[in-house]
Structure 1
Amino acid sequence: MNEVIEAPSKAIAATPALAANSPMGMMLAAVQQGATLEQVEKMMDLQERWEKAEAKKAYDAAFANFKAEAVTIIKGRAVTDGPLKGKSYAELHDVVNAVTPALSKHGLSSSWKLTKDDKDWMEVTCYLRHVGGHEESVSMGGPPDTGGAKNAIQARASTKTYLERYTLKAITGLSEQGDDDDGRPPKAPKLITQVQLLRLQAVLSQCSPGAQKKFAAVWPDASQIPCDRVDAEIAALEGAAAKHKERMAAQAQE
């Protein structure tokens, strides 16, 4: 007598249900109905664009919630000598310690990358990412800080730290309490704004190395450019950037 032995049934892990009105759900339905490869590729492209849009919406919501935290950046470093004695400013760790808890709370994180490391010019890019996948960035550049008898490594480290501090404040849209540009006296001439400085740095990064070096020689610290000189400097840099672009295009065609 033959005995029929039934194989034990295996548990099948449940798969998340796809929303019928989502691009992936519609693509699956189309495949089941015999869609062509071209149609499937178009649907995959639609799915990718849909996911990016959803990630951007999630980022915007998280950033709005972060801003609602009303983060306060405390100036923890006092100036002990020089014309700014008695003033104070926030160091990089002051800014990081202030923003990180609120960023993490809403699924956001920041990081930096040295995106340009030439002898006479450095550029730092600050990235702000959300767990949903969307990312935004702000870049800022400047020459090595050779003031105060610094050696070559110290000069580059000083500029890198400065750029990290300001790009993090820029990407998060925050400023120090009573922000006075690192303790600059109130009666000093009005200088370039942060927005203008970011625009100037963006244009400068498109110029030739020679033009960048020449600019750095005239303005070792771009944050000290008087406000009434900003438009003229940016216009001059835009002209230099356009010429550099034309030269590069001509070389590419040779």
Structure 2
Amino acid sequence: MSTAVETFEPAKPGSITRMEGRVVVTPLEMLDRATAQNAPVEILERLMALHERYEANRARQAFDAALASAKAEIPVILKNRTVDFTSQKGRTNYRHEDLAEIARTIDPILAKHGLSYRFRTKTEGGTATVTCIVSHRDGHSEENTLSAGHDNSGNKNSIQAVGSAITYLQRYTLKASLGLSASDDDDGKTTEPEVKVISHEQAEEIRDLIGKTSSNIDVFLKALKVESVADIPAKEYFRVIGMFTEKMKRVPQP
């Protein structure tokens, strides 16, 4: 019994699809016929499972098509915020796009293609975890999760430290989920931000993931344009962790 669909064209439930001169009966149509013929329960259960897989596959294809169309329309997002402060570790100076600017840019385009997103957050100990869930109106959704310690930079109190970390992770999980890019505004400023690298603990975490995923470290470092793991810019940390997290999902479990 084949349910292969050569080209995706959303069909109404229970409809009959025509492909290359052939009539392809959907699993729901087959289930209706089996029910009308008083088929055994075992046959009905198998057809119901087939129908569920068929619908899940259709929903995934619709999600992929909608996301591709949306990404083709989403422009480069403007970095509209500046962070500039000095601590015991030195001066921190960089520009970034806040969550409101990202939402203002992408929300109308995502809605046009039946896409939406939401966040699930969790704090445990000194760690905040944020999961971005991107969903399509046909039912398929995909998730991207990142974790980080509370943001104790500046003069933040404990609540602000948690909120800052969550907002930061919301931006990065959303950008990672949609493959977004950002660009500085053209305000004529020529000051280059100080390049900060990852911490020793973060470098050890990345080395561990390289080993667990059997990744080629030379290819990895060349892609990031750095000479060693310790030279990875701090701003790339979450993107790298997200990349290895996805790769870990494909590693066969013992």
Who is 1:131 aligned against?
137
Is structure 2 residue 100 aligned with structure 1 residue 100? no
What amino acid is the match of 2:67? F
**Unaligned ranges ≥5, structure 1:** 1-15, 204-223, 239-254
The answer as to whether partners of 2:78 and 2:184 remain within 8 angstroms in 1 is no
Is structure 2 residue 9 aligned with structure 1 residue 32? no
Using the alignment, how far apart are the partners of 2:58 and 2:102 within structure 1?
A: 30
Is structure 2 residue 149 aligned with structure 1 residue 167? no
The answer as to whether partners of 1:75 and 1:89 remain within 8 angstroms in 2 is yes
TM-score by length of 2: 0.64
The answer as to whether partners of 1:107 and 1:130 remain within 8 angstroms in 2 is yes
Q: How do 1:105-120 and structure 2 match up within 5 A?
A: 105-114=112-121, 116-120=122-126
The answer as to whether partners of 2:115 and 2:135 remain within 8 angstroms in 1 is yes
The answer as to whether partners of 2:14 and 2:28 remain within 8 angstroms in 1 is no
TM-score by length of 1: 0.64
Using the alignment, how far apart are the partners of 1:31 and 1:64 within structure 2?
A: 39
Who is 1:72 aligned against?
76
How far off is 1:227 after superposition? Answer: 2.7
What amino acid is the match of 1:154? Q
Secondary structure in structure 2 of the residue aligned to 1:68: helix
How far off is 1:189 after superposition? Answer: 6.5
Q: Which has the higher strand share?
A: 2
How far off is 1:21 after superposition? Answer: 0.3
The answer as to whether partners of 1:124 and 1:163 remain within 8 angstroms in 2 is yes
Who is 1:212 aligned against?
none
How far off is 1:35 after superposition? Answer: 0.9
Aligned-CA RMSD value: 3.6
1:88 pairs, out of 95, 101, 119, with 95
Q: How many residues align?
A: 188
Who is 1:145 aligned against?
151
How far off is 1:127 after superposition? Answer: 0.5
Using the alignment, how far apart are the partners of 2:153 and 2:194 within structure 1?
A: 24
How far off is 1:150 after superposition? Answer: 1.2
Is structure 2 residue 231 aligned with structure 1 residue 226? yes
Who is 1:206 aligned against?
none
Question: Aligned in 2, Cα 1:177/1:88: closer, same or farther, shift over 3 Å?
Answer: same
What amino acid is the match of 1:77? R
The answer as to whether partners of 1:71 and 1:102 remain within 8 angstroms in 2 is no
1:51 pairs, out of 49, 55, 60, with 55
The answer as to whether partners of 2:129 and 2:146 remain within 8 angstroms in 1 is yes
**Identical-pair percentage:** 36
How far off is 1:81 after superposition? Answer: 4.7
What amino acid is the match of 2:48? M
Could you give the per-residue CA deviations for residues 123-160 of structure 1, whole angstroms, max 9, x where no partner exists? Answer: 00001000000000100001111111211101100100
